[in-house]
């Protein structure tokens, strides 16, 4: 038997029916996007097809497989549970929100990606059910960096250093809450604004938080404020382009990595980048309100409120996105406060609490 | 009444410009830069033909928005402009008055010293484009607070006084800029009056 193995192996590609050993298949699910995604990772190639049935999607394979885990249940309106059936099938039990199924294959390793399209009654994009395995990704963006120092306080405190410091503190706190955190920069370097947003999109982040410190010629200016995007598009423009968007493009944060197929044209991509945040404004404003409330409670500094402005870094984000101006380092007293570790912890802790309140929402 | 008339004259007449320094701080660069830019080649000369006609020029009162000295918002001041009908002419007068700076104690200049308007035009779709000299970018990317007030001082002053203008594109030295530091400048910006009023 052992000597036959190379021959058998070659043979199993395409027709595994004669292979004696079941092929291990890892099952992973992801409900963080608009669709529910199931990824089957095969130790060896097996031909499998998805067949729709009442209340089920059956993944039928040509050869024996060993699913890991053998069963699973989800808190999701599109996919309720999955389980192995016999040694050649996996049955996905769909929920009331289920509408249709798409599949595609990926190589190295061999994967079958099953996207279950549908709707969830609650705001899925804003508050995804916490997935069982994959932790939600939150991207934190420390403003400025490198030669681009940002604001500089009267005693020399630089915005770029303080934003990174606060971002690292916030990262530690969010990780303790169970999130996966990506910093757009974790060193002192220049990073273009669009790249920062792209990092959030590529990581399929559920939240994008840009941290800044303010400055003004008015030395009396003091306090914290939280922004979400003020869009430059009129409602009519947004509607027109939303039509295009639905046809040509799926926001990467909401669903998938760019699926095989034709990418949108450069021009379209640019328009979409500019309008990407438009569909998340309600969620973004909620996050901004939560952050601003916590910041006020924690720090007691002057409440400058939640505001909207056309911040470039928020425009292309395909997830709820905010920009926090944590305080004015042009104001000597406020600058002094930001040199204190306890105060910085307090600010980071306030933001982390706000994030927890948003992500914990059912 | 006299200072007002002077302001109008300053906005309008190149010959009078040497008399247009600000009272509190004279800025010779501002004055020097203005004549060239006001007379930029593409800028039509709306005032010249009108002054030839002997008709008295009707005045219109406009509201300008400047960053307030004590608060976080914009504060309003009124000015009189020549009641020209062309939206671009009205817009150019408004921006010229804005660049001259505020008259009240409680207001700050909306733009860095030395900033001039190179050109302003209004398209049929309601987008106005105001092209400023490079000085506009001085001090950009320090704090978003001042950046926001500069942008909305320009955008709100134009959109609130010229009904044909619905959004304002801000250009610098003849070119479109991606950002003004934090804020996107690659699209015309609609007005936001929350910056002009207390919440």
Kindly identify which residue of chain A lies nearest to residue B195, measuring between CA atoms. Answer: A307
- Interval B87-105 mean pLDDT: 97
Q: Which CATH architecture has domain A5-118?
A: Sandwich (2.60)
Tell me which chain A residues have a C-beta less than 8 angstroms from the C-beta of B179: 193, 312
Position A342 scores a pLDDT of 97
Tell me which chain A residues have a C-beta less than 8 angstroms from the C-beta of B25: none
pTM of the full predicted structure?
A: 0.64
Position A271 scores a pLDDT of 64
Q: What are the structure tokens assigned to A87, written together?
A: 């040694």
Q: What are the structure tokens assigned to A279, written together?
A: 């569909």
Position B174 scores a pLDDT of 95
List, in sequence order, every residue forming a beta bridge with A356; answer none if it has no partner: none
CB contact (8 A) between residue A310 and residue B178: no
Sign of the dihedral through C-alpha B80, B85, B89, B91 = positive
Walk along chain A (362 residues) and give the pLDDT tens digit of each residue: 444 444 333 333 334 444 468 888 888 888 877 788 888 888 888 888 888 888 888 888 888 898 888 888 888 888 988 888 888 889 898 888 888 888 888 777 888 888 888 887 654 444 444 444 568 999 999 999 999 999 999 999 999 999 999 999 999 999 999 999 999 999 999 999 999 999 999 999 999 999 999 999 887 889 999 999 998 766 566 556 555 544 444 444 444 444 444 444 545 555 677 788 988 999 999 999 999 999 999 988 888 899 999 999 999 999 999 999 999 999 999 999 999 999 999 999 999 999 999 987 54
List, in sequence order, every residue forming a beta bridge with A142; answer none if it has no partner: A211
Position A349 scores a pLDDT of 97
Is the predicted pLDDT of residue B191 greater than 70, yes or no? yes
Position A34 scores a pLDDT of 79
List, in sequence order, every residue forming a beta bridge with B127; answer none if it has no partner: B167
Question: No. of H helices and E strands in chain B?
Answer: 5, 6
Contact (Cβ atoms closer than 8 angstroms) between residue B81 and residue B95: no
Kindly identify which residue of chain B lies nearest to residue A210, measuring between CA atoms. Answer: B182
| Domain spans in chain A, listed from the N-terminal domain onward | 5-118, 137-359
Position A220 scores a pLDDT of 82
Query: What element of type H or E holds A24?
Result: strand A23-30
List all residues 6 or more positions away from A111 whose beta carbon is below 8 Å from its beta carbon.
A39, A40, A41, A42, A105
CB contact (8 A) between residue A310 and residue B183: yes
CB contact (8 A) between residue A221 and residue B72: yes
Which candidate, B116, B158, B156, B121, places its Cα nearest to that of B137? B116
List all residues 6 or more positions away from B141 whose beta carbon is below 8 Å from its beta carbon.
A148, A150, B147, B180, B181, B182
Pick from A18-22, A279-283, B20-24, B191-195: least confident: B20-24
Contact (Cβ atoms closer than 8 angstroms) between residue A129 and residue A74: yes
A89: exposed, middle or buried (Cβ count in 10 Å: 0-12, 13-18, 19+): middle
Q: Which of A214, A218, A315 sits opposite B144 (nearest CB)?
A: A214
Is the predicted pLDDT of residue B147 greater than 70, yes or no? yes
Q: What are the structure tokens assigned to A114, written together?
A: 């099953």
Tell me which chain A residues have a C-beta less than 8 angstroms from the C-beta of B186: 274, 312
Kindly identify which residue of chain A lies nearest to residue B199, measuring between CA atoms. Answer: A305
CATH 3.40.630.40 fits domain A137-359: yes
Mean pLDDT of chain B: 78
DSSP string, A91-156: EEEE-TTEEEEEEEEETTTTEEEEEEEE--SS-TTTSPPPPSSSPPEEEEEE--BTTB---B-TT-
């Amino acid at each position: 038997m052992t000597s036959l193995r190379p021959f058998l192996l070659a043979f199993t590609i395409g027709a595994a029916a004669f292979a004696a050993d079941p092929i291990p298949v890892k099952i992973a699910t992801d409900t963080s996007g608009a669709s529910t995604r199931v990824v089957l990772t095969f130790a060896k190639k097996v031909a499998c097809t998805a067949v729709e049935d009442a209340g089920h999607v059956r993944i039928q394979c040509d050869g024996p497989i060993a699913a890991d885990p053998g069963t699973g249940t989800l808190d999701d309106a599109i996919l309720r549970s999955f389980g192995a059936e016999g040694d050649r099938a996996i049955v996905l039990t769909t929920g009331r929100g289920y509408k249709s199924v798409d599949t595609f294959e990926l190589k190295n390793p061999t994967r079958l990606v099953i996207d279950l399209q549908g709707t969830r009654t609650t705001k899925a994009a804003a508050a995804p059910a916490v997935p069982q395995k994959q932790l939600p990704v939150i991207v934190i963006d420390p403003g400025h960096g490198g030669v681009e120092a940002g604001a500089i306080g009267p005693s020399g405190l630089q915005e770029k250093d303080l934003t990174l410091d606060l971002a690292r503190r916030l990262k530690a706190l969010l990780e303790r809450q169970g999130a996966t955190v990506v910093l757009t920069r974790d060193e002192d370097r220049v990073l273009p604004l669009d790249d920062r947003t792209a990092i959030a999109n590529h990581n399929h982040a559920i939240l994008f938080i840009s941290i800044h410190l303010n400055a003004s010629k008015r030395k009396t200016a003091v306090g914290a404020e939280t922004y979400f995007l003020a869009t430059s598009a009129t409602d009519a423009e947004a509607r027109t382009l939303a039509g295009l968007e639905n046809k040509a493009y799926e926001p990467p944060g909401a669903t998938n990595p760019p699926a095989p197929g034709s990418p949108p044209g450069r021009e379209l991509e640019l328009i979409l980048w500019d309008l990407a945040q438009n569909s998340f404004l309600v969620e973004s404003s909620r996050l901004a309100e939560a952050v601003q409330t916590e910041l006020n409670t924690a720090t007691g500094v002057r409440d400058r409120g939640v505001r909207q402005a056309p911040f470039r870094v928020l425009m292309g984000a395909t997830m709820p996105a905010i920009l926090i101006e944590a305080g004015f380092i042009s104001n000597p007293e406020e600058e002094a406060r930001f040199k204190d570790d306890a105060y910085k912890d307090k600010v980071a802790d306030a933001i982390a609490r706000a994030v927890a309140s948003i992500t914990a929402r059912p | 009444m006299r200072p007002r008339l002077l302001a109008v004259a300053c906005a309008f007449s190149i010959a009078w410009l040497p008399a247009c320094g600000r009272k509190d701080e004279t800025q010779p660069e501002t004055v020097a830069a203005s004549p060239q830019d006001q007379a930029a080649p593409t800028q039509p000369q709306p005032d010249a033909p009108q002054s030839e006609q002997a008709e008295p020029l009707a005045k219109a009162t406009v509201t300008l928005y400047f960053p307030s000295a004590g608060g976080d918002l914009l504060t309003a001041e009124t000015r009189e402009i020549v009641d020209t009908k062309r939206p671009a002419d009205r817009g150019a007068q408004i921006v010229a008055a804005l660049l001259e700076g505020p008259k009240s104690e409680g207001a700050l200049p909306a733009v860095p010293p030395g900033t001039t308007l190179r050109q302003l035009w209004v398209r049929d779709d309601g987008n106005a484009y105001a092209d400023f000299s490079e000085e506009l970018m001085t001090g950009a990317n320090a704090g978003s607070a001042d950046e926001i007030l500069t942008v909305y001082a320009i955008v709100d002053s134009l959109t609130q006084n010229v009904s044909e203008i619905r959004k304002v594109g801000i250009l610098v030295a003849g070119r479109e800029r991606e950002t003004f530091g934090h804020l996107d400048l690659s699209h015309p910006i609609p007005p936001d009056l929350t910056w002009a009023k207390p919440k």
